[in-house]
Amino acid sequence: MEEEGGRVSPGSLWAKARLGQGVVIGNLDTGVWPEAGSFSDDGMGPAPARWRGICQDQQASDDAQVRCNRKLIGARFFNKGYLATVGQQEQQVSPASTRDTDGHGTHTLSTAAGRLVPGANLFGYGNGTAKGGAPRAHAAAYKVCWRPVNGSECFDADIIAAFDAAIHDGVHVLSVSLGGSPAEYFRDGVAIGSFHAARHGVTVVCSAGNSGPAAGTVSNTAPWLLTVGASTMDREFPAYLVLDNKKRIKGQSLSPTRLPGNKYYQLISSEEAKGANATAAQAKLCIEGSLDKAKVKGKIVVCVRGKNARVEKGEAVRRAGGVGLVLANDEASGNEMIADAHVLPATHITYTDGIALLAYLNSTRSASGYITAPYTALDTKPAPFMAAFSSQGPNTVTPQILKPDITAPGVSILAAFTGLAGPTGLAFDDRRVLFNAESGTSMSCPHVAGIAGLLKALHPDWSPAAIKSAIMTTARVRDNMRRPMSNSSFLRATPFGYGAGHVQPNRAADPGLVYDAGAADYLGFLCALGYNASAIATFMAGGDGAPYACPAAAPRPEDLNYPSFAVPHLSPTGAARAVTRRVRNVGAGAAAYDARVREPRGVAVDVRPRRLEFAAPGEEKQFTVTFRAREGFFLPGEYVFGRLTWSDGVGRHRVRSPLVVRVVDTKKKKNPLSIA
């Protein structure tokens, strides 16, 4: 089976779901660049009969107008909250239009639902056929983010209005690459709007955030959301720094320019190149204006990652007269190397290599080197591993719900882009590209949104929770070297980084069992958190507009029917903590599943019953998992990790759930975010 130059395996989820045909995927973002090839409607059928959306800019000026077609069937903007904050004068800078002036929204929407576009590349790198997650799905853009003002660009009032419009219009899946700091759900516009969506059967996929690798930084923590971390894939863009001692240091880059002549250039650390009016800290980071032009001219400058944008550092070097940039990671960034469209010959190297390079520069009077031209490398190892920037658990709002839920590719992702901004998005970048490579959980989120769209096409009766469960319980936790997934420092990663694991779309098509939930479950969860009637009314009122009344015996937060298990307050005295779950058979017939447990260190786990027998598809069974600290073996105050797998014995279905447990430390106060 082939379409537009891209080959589709007959047994894949793509083939089974007809590439997402009939499904509508929307995104809340910075708008859309409708002229991108990813939104071509050649060969597309009409919008679904249930579609009620509009193309809001149809009457706008030619420059701003966004014309819809059979692929891009909706485009709307929401800016009342923004204008109420910044004032009407800002309208001159941020015209009321769905057109994407930033590129972020075009990139994410095309990643989720873009058509197959042959010959896609950035400056010749990564050349191939660009494919969205659900290429035959219809797309709809909801612009809620505008020119930043005082650090804010997406306002809750606009976000909630867009959610409600998308529900009315008839979307099936929403990709939401937005989020701020973790917040109580009734104060979080994404949490409120996505609750409305989930209640109406819309699957909402969100980014985990880019505040890693610190613990407790994950955002979009509501349990009705599918929250996505970011990991690498097996494609890189290597560019080597070759030193005069013949040592080669591997980095990555997407710089379109090359060093003139095949010769060596003098190397200098940015601290050594400090300008007279700059601090050492500013020079180390290559802050604009911090470098001495006399010291930098004609040299390759080694800058350290942090604070200012990666490409901005290269611009500072270029303006100071430097010919090349070596960007060395800080300790927090570890081994994560990001390929950027630098404005001069450049390469981005790891923290370890950066330390060794700076030591070498300090040990010799005159070091020199050369930066090779980048190239596209496939089947790289190890992959995937977690990106350093990907926000980490635990969930600081509700630690009984593990977040993130899943991880997906989010580093150097090639997708469609706007014609109104350069590939770096920085003011000085006047280059224009059809496709751009970007990194962030903003890029991993639409990968999963596209997969959710495929699952909705294949299983139209599945709820958002069932789709989330299928994606989570079929994920993998090993890389392409069959080793446990690692973080950016090549240490073993944990569910606080990857959630249930790295997404496996084809396996998600047939998960065997699903953990389902609906509005009643989520309302019970809010009651369990102690939300009063006015707080719950933010999400949903009762019948006839009356306040929703919590039941007399509200369930505990940890008993929400979730595909993962988090027990953050286990007693150290041996007192047991039991949680309940129910699973539904979504296989083709009768089935029996046996429980297999990998216990967290120092914690005994008991599953009852150990065997679940289903007489027919659609049947549900309940089970209980009991956790107990093993005296003398547990780590007080530390999170430990395990796994529960329901297996059908024939190897066809393995329904995996992470177990995350923290035994309370009663002797001293410890950081609740510490992890083992």
What whole-number distance in Å separates Cα of residue 195 and Cα of residue 604? 35
Q: What's the half-sphere exposure (Cβ side, CA atoms, 13 Å) at 375?
A: 6
3-state secondary structure of 97: coil
Radius of gyration of the chain from Cα atoms? 26
Name the amino acid, one letter, at 456. Answer: K
Tokens of 107: 């990139």
Residue 165 contacts residue 28 (beta carbons within 8 Å): no
Tokens of 34: 């409708």
Residue 228 contacts residue 257 (beta carbons within 8 Å): no
636 DSSP 8-state letter: T
Is 29 among the residues known to form the active site? Answer: yes
Nearest to 625 by CA among 584, 597, 649: 597
Q: Rounded to 5 degrees, what are φ and ψ at 323?
A: -105, -15
Indicate the pairing of strand 226-231 with strand 513-514: unpaired
Catalytic residue, from 57, 104, 196, 648: name it: 104
251 DSSP 8-state letter: E
Name the amino acid, one letter, at 210. Answer: N
Tokens of 538: 């933010």
CA-angle at 126, arms to 4 and 334, nearest 5°: 140
Tokens of 95: 């015209």
89 DSSP 8-state letter: G
Name the amino acid, one letter, at 366. Answer: S
Catalytic residue, from 97, 211, 442, 469: name it: 442
What whole-number distance in Å separates Cα of residue 477 and Cα of residue 403? 15
Considering Cα of 562, then 456, then 100, then 409, what sign does the dihedral take? positive
Tokens of 372: 């090779």
What whole-number distance in Å separates Cα of residue 320 and Cα of residue 46? 55
The position carrying tokens 């060395």 is 328
Which residues lie closer than 8 Å to 343 by C-beta, 6 or more apart? 255, 257, 311, 314, 315, 318, 424, 428, 429
Residue 120 contacts residue 128 (beta carbons within 8 Å): yes
Residue 561 contacts residue 582 (beta carbons within 8 Å): yes
CA-angle at 492, arms to 489 and 496, nearest 5°: 95
Rounded to the nearest 10 degrees, what angle do helices 441-458 and 104-113 cross at?
Answer: 30
- List beta partners, residue 612: 593
- List beta partners, residue 568: none
Is 104 among the residues known to form the active site? Answer: yes
The position carrying tokens 């057109």 is 99
Indicate the pairing of strand 138-143 with strand 24-29: parallel
What whole-number distance in Å separates Cα of residue 642 and Cα of residue 625? 13
The H helix count followed by the E strand count for the chain is: 15, 33
Burial class (CB in 10 A: 0-12, 13-18, 19+), 208: buried
Q: How many CB atoms lie within 10 A of CB 153?
A: 18
Residue 475 contacts residue 408 (beta carbons within 8 Å): no
Is 447 among the residues known to form the active site? Answer: no
Residue 444 contacts residue 229 (beta carbons within 8 Å): yes
Residues with a known catalytic role: 29, 104, 442
